[in-house]
Amino acid sequence: MALIVQKYGGTSVGTVERIQAVADKVKRFREQGDDVVVVVSAMSGETNRLIGLAKEMQDQPAPREMDVLVSTGEQVTIALLCMALNERSCPARSYTGTQVRILTDDAHTKARIQDIDDENIRADLKAGRVVVVAGFQGVDDNGNITTLGRGGSDTTAVALAAALKADECQIYTDVDGVYTTDPRVVEGARRLDEITFEEMLEMASLGSKVLQIRAVEFAGKYDVPLRVLHSFQEGPGTLITIEDENTVERPVISGIAFNRDEAKLTVLGVPDIPGVASKILGPVSDANIEVDMILQNIAEDNTTDFTFTVHRNDYDRALSILERVSSELKAREVQGDNKIAKVSIVGVGMRSHAGVATKMFGALAGEGINIQLISTSEIKISVVIAEKYLELAVRSLHSAFELDEAEVVQES
């Protein structure tokens, strides 16, 4: 008998019929003798509907009240799924994040999990019940409802799996696994049987929408076997696990990630003095805006041009902050561009293969695509390009690294 944590996303529970199909699937696991904890998202479109209601009331609602509002979506789903399970003579009990006591910090709309009280869950499992938990939400020390940010249900599921020491955490979604890149962009994209936590972490951080980055971080930190599966199609999915030293040889590149939600900001003609980077980025950080890629160019006149990227949603706020800061620093000008995209190649095989960057840059140059920024790590190379070239870039790189032809090398 295994203990399995399953997570079903918004499209998987988007209608009453789909919730009933999930109940049928969960019941089959119980009939096999497995203990099951289910984490669910709000029904597809519900969170956006709630956000829309908030915007009708106030242009910039208080984050605390937004958390109170959007957390109700998952509450509906857990109740409906429990009703469907109980109707099938499969005893079930629902819990909100507050009831489980998924303790988080107080960073509303993007809270982080600090602790989980699993006592009630274990008691219900021992009594033979399926436990259904609302994803995406928790509670802070003061009893305030918090949410974990978009995709937070993945994090809830992995955190519960870690706390319960589950045998596997299964993420059910509308795709049948992790692909070399988005199949909607590249027709020849291929499903991976296996990918390392390290690679998946890079893919998630660089724009892959299959899993939330914090979910992968949790899984890697606590070594939780993680599997991505299709909600309503049978198949092995993709297993995300630690890198195995016994693997004969991994492909040089495992996948290509991309992100359209990028914006670039540049402060031109800043005095080249110690601490200038901190003076530029400090106010941006204080506004809780995350900075991604950074580039600094030194000119002959002892000034510097300082460029960095942020999420496109933060572009206007960051630009406003920079205009104020640039005046204080006596910078020449502030420029911005919110029509850029980031394309990245990822693979642990890059560690033992030379020439990967040259091959990447050559493929892009062959298509006449100009690179604006470059960032590298041991297992990834990211470039910023004009958004209009995004799909062309992804297709050319997928072909250059033969990702549609290569076979996944299995362990010996």
The reply, when asked if residue 209 is annotated as ligand binding, is yes
Place of tokens 């499903």: 191
Cβ-Cβ contacts under 8 Å for 27 (sequence gap 6 or more): 85, 88, 90
- Separation between Cα atoms, residue 210 and residue 231, nearest integer Å: 13
184 marked ligand binding residue? yes
d(CA 359, CA 376): 14
| Residue 173 annotated as part of some ligand binding site | yes
Q: What is the DSSP string of 57-83?
A: H-SS--HHHHHHHHTHHHHHHHHHHHH
> Residue 174 annotated as binding?
yes
Burial 338-363 (b: 16+ CB within 10 A, else e): bebbbbbbbbbbbeeeeebeebbeeb
Provide the CB-side half-sphere exposure for 320 (13 A, CA): 6
7 annotated binding-site participant: yes
In contact, 165 and 130? CB cutoff 8 Å: no
d(CA 152, CA 41): 9
DSSP lists the bridge partners of residue 296 as: 306
| DSSP character string of 246-310 | TBS---S--EEEEEEEEEEEEEEEEE--TTHHHHHHHHHHHTTPPEEEEEEEE-TTSEEEEEEEE
Sequence-distant (≥ 6) Cβ neighbours of residue 282 within 8 angstroms: none
330: left (phi over 0), alpha (psi -120 to 50) or beta: left
Q: For tokens 């020491």, name the residue.
A: 165
Distances (CA, A) of 42 to 10, 36, 61, 132, 215: 5, 19, 20, 13, 18
> 179 labelled as ligand-binding?
yes
Question: Residue 143 burial by CB count (10 A; 0-12/13-18/19+): exposed, middle or buried?
Answer: exposed
Tell me the residue type at 71: S
- What b/e string do you get for 234-256 counting C-beta neighbours within 10 Å, with b at 16 or more? eeebbbbbeeeeeeeebbbbbbb
- Cβ-proximal residues to 166 (8 Å cutoff; 6+ apart), any chain: 3, 4, 5, 37, 160, 224
Provide the annotated binding site: 7-10, 47, 74, 173-174, 179, 184, 209-210
Provide the annotated binding site for ATP: 7-10, 173-174, 179, 184, 209-210
Provide the annotated binding site for substrate: 47, 74
